[in-house]
Every structure is written in structure tokens, then in C-alpha cells.
Amino acid sequence: MKLVAVVKENLDTEVEDFREFIKGDIYLDEAKHFYGPKIRKGGFMSLLSPSLISKLNAIKLPNNLKGEGWIMGGVLVLGSGDQGILFEHLEAKVGDRCDIDKVMEAVAKISSE
């Protein structure tokens, strides 16, 4: 089983700093092919969301406000062989988080072919 990340930019030492959380490969997709074909973006109004403000205040990890922060991402858990996508979460709004328990359930379903 392999954990990988796809990021859209590398400012300063961000990708290297991210390695603390992702022990697998980190792929840089500056052309943003992985985020398309229709890139989903948040807007300025999303910054006023009480739930986003609450989440930002609760973050205990170091973070920064550098770079492009509007393109929304997601989480995919891909099975081996013909299993396909076992879990998919696409941000619906800026700051939208996936259910970690569901991610772990999907990871447990990956066969070891």
C-alpha cells in the first residue's frame, strides 16, 4: 500500500515541509491536470463562513497564507487491481474536510494483490 500526494505548487520549502505528513511520493502538478477538467474554486465569500473561521482557529499545525488558496482539492482512496475508487471526497467549499473514519474504512478494503 502506498500513500501519495498531488500538489499544485511548491513555494519556498512547502513540499519538503509536507513530507512530515506524507511519507510517500509527492507529485507537483503545476499545470493542474489532476485538478480538472473543470477546476473547482472557492470565492471570497467563503472566507466569511463561520465554519471556516472556526476550523482555521482550531488548527494546531503550522500553516501559512502563501500561494494560491482558492482551488479546491480532495481525497481519493484507490484500490489495487480492478478495485477502482474505494473512497472519494471533493471539497464542496473552501475548508471542507473529509471523514477520516470513512477514509480508514476504505483503506482497510484495499486488497493486497
| Residue 73: domain span | 5-108
At 6-26, the pLDDT tens digits run 888 888 888 888 888 888 899
What does the angle CA 15 – CA 20 – CA 21 come to, to the nearest 5 degrees?
90
| Segment 87-105 mean pLDDT | 85
Q: How many domains does the chain have?
A: 1
Confidence at residue 87, expressed as pLDDT on a 0 to 100 scale: 94
Q: Is residue 90 part of a domain?
A: yes
Residue 47 inside a domain? The answer is yes
pLDDT of residue 34: 81
Torsion angle, alpha carbons of 33, 38, 39, 45, to 10: 180
Yes or no: say if 89 and 75 are a contact pair by the CB < 8 Å rule. Answer: yes
66: in domain: yes
Please indicate, yes or no, if residue 113 is contained in any of the structural domains: no
Residue scoring higher pLDDT (29 or 93): 29
Residue 31, C-alpha cell as written in the block: 499545470
Instruction: Please write the tens of the pLDDT for every residue from 27-51.
Output: 998 888 887 767 666 665 666 666 6
pTM of the model: 0.65
